[in-house]
Amino acid sequence: MFDLLAQLGPKVLIGALGAGVGMAMYLLFSQFEERAALRSSLRQLDDYEVESVRDKELLIPLKERVLGGFSERIAKIGARFNPPEYIEQIRKLHVQAGINSPDKVERFLAMRLMGFVFIPVWILIHLVVNPLALSGLLLWAILGLGVMIGALGPMSTLKKKVGARQTAIQRALPDVLDLLVISVEAGLGFEQALDRVIANVPGELSDEFARVLGESRAGSTRSDALRAMEERCDSPEVRSFVLAMIQADTFGVSIGRVLRAQADEMRIRRRQRAQEKAQKAPVKMMIPMVFCIFPALFVVVLGPAIINITEGFAK
C-alpha cells in the first residue's frame, strides 16, 4: 500500500498542481469577464463615454486582447487548409446551434486546427519524455484519449450544442402552438400572436419567432422567413409546422384551424417520443446491469457457497 502511494506521489502532486493552476486561471478570467460585463453595461448608458484610445482598448476583455490576434491568424491558416464546403458546413452547424457570429466560426476553425496540431505533440511528449512515467496499456489509453480529444473534441461539442437546441425547440413547440392558437382564436393576427409568444415564453423557439417577425417587418415574405427558420432549426417538427403555415397562406386556409391541428399533432409526437425513450431504457440498462450489478450480486450470493464447496473438496 505504501509502495503504491510512493509511486503515485509525484503523479498526484503534478495533478494537484495542474488543478490548482487551472482553478487560479479560471478565477482570474471569471473576474475579467465580470468586469467586461460591467463595462458593457456602462457602455449602454448615454452619459458614459470613453475619451482616450487606451480606455477604449481596455474595454475589450482580456481574453480577447490576449488570444484575439493569435486566434485570427490560426483561423486564416485553417481557412486555407479547409475546403469551402467544410467551412460552409461548420457555419451551418453554428447557425443551428444558435451561434450567429462569424468570429465564432473562425475560432472554431482555429480550435480544430490546433487540435490536430496537438495530436503529434501529445504523442511525442508521452512516448519520448513520458512525464507521468506511464507504461503498457495505461500509456496507450492516455494517448488514445488525447488523440480523441484533439480530433473529435470541438466537433463533438458543437454537435451537442446543436442537439440540445433542437431538443429544447421540440419540447417547447406544442406549448408555444397552444398559445398561438389561443391568441389567434381570441382575434389577434399571426404577427400579434407571435409578439405575445415572444413576450411570454422565453427560449430558443421564441428567439426564432422573433427573428421571423423581424425579417417579415424588414420586407421579407412570411414564407421566406419561415423557410429560413426551418433551415436554422433543422427539426422535423418545425419543418412540418412551416410547411403547414406556408400551405395555409397559399390556399387561404384558416390559420387558427391549422395551428390547432399542428398543436395536437406536436403534442402526440412529443408523447410518442417520450414513449420511445421509455422503451429504449431497459435495453440501455442491460449493459451496466450485466457488467456492473450482476457480478457483484453473484459474488455476494454464490461466494459463500463456492467457498464451502472448495473447503469440502479440500477435506
Place of cell 415564453: 201
Q: What's the residue count for the chain?
A: 315
| Contact residues for 166 (Cβ-Cβ < 8 A; gap 6+) | 96, 233, 234, 235
Mean pLDDT in residue range 196-206 = 86
Whole-number average pLDDT of the chain: 75
Query: What is the C-alpha to C-alpha distance for residues 60 and 67, in angstroms, rounded to an integer?
Result: 12
DSSP per-residue string spanning the chain: -HHHHHHHHHHHHHHHHHHHHHHHHHHHHHHHHHHHHHHHHHHTSTT----SHHHHHHTS-HHHHHHHHHHHHHHHHHHHHS-HHHHHHHHHHHHHTT---HHHHHHHHHHHHHHHHHHHHHHHIIIII-TT---THHHHHHHHHHHHHHHHHHHHHHHHHHHHHHHHHHHHHHHHHHHHHHHHHTT--HHHHHHHHHHH--SHHHHHHHHHHHHHHTT--HHHHHHHHHHHH--HHHHHHHHHHHHHHHHT--HHHHHHHHHHHHHHHHHHHHHHHHHHHHHHHHHHIIIIIHHHHHHHHHHHHHHHHHHHHH-
Cα 223 to Cα 237, 254, 262: the distances in Å are: 17, 16, 17
Closest alpha carbon to 93 in 104, 82, 78: 104
Determine the pLDDT at residue 170: 87
- CA of 142: how far to CAs of 136, 139, 215, 280, in Å? 10, 5, 50, 32
Task: Look up cell 406536436; give the residue.
Answer: 266
pLDDT of 1 higher than 50: no
Which of the pair, 127 or 37, is modelled with greater confidence?
127
* Range among 21-30, 59-68, 179-188 rated most confident: 179-188
Banded model confidence at residue 300, pLDDT cuts 50, 70, 90: confident
The model's confidence at residue 183, banded by pLDDT at 50, 70 and 90, is confident
Query: Is 27 or 83 the better-scoring residue by pLDDT?
Result: 83
pLDDT at 222: 84
Higher pLDDT, 292 or 119: 292
Return d(Cα 81, Cα 102) in angstroms, integer.
Answer: 18
Full 3-state SS string of 180-202: HHHHHHCCCCHHHHHHHHHHHCC
| pLDDT mean over 104-121 | 74
Percent of the chain at pLDDT > 70 equals 67
> For position 46, what pLDDT does the model report?
46
Domains and CATH numbers, the chain: 168-272 (1.20.81)
User: Are the beta carbons of 106 and 71 closer than 8 angstroms?
Assistant: yes
Least confident range of 5-19, 66-80, 295-309: 5-19
- For the cut 50, the answer to whether the pLDDT of residue 165 exceeds it is yes
- Smallest CA-to-CA distance from 240 within 298, 167, 170, 293 is with 170
**At residue 42, does pLDDT exceed 70?**
no
Task: Read off the amino acid at residue 162.
Answer: V
CA–CA separation, 31 and 64 (whole Å): 14
- pLDDT bracket for residue 48 (50, 70, 90): very low
Q: Are 126 and 139 in contact (CB under 8 A)?
A: yes
| pLDDT value at residue 73 | 66
Pairwise CA distance, residues 96 & 104, whole Å: 13
Distance (Å, whole) CA 153 – CA 37: 28
Residue 72 and residue 79 in contact, taking contact as beta carbons nearer than 8 Å: no
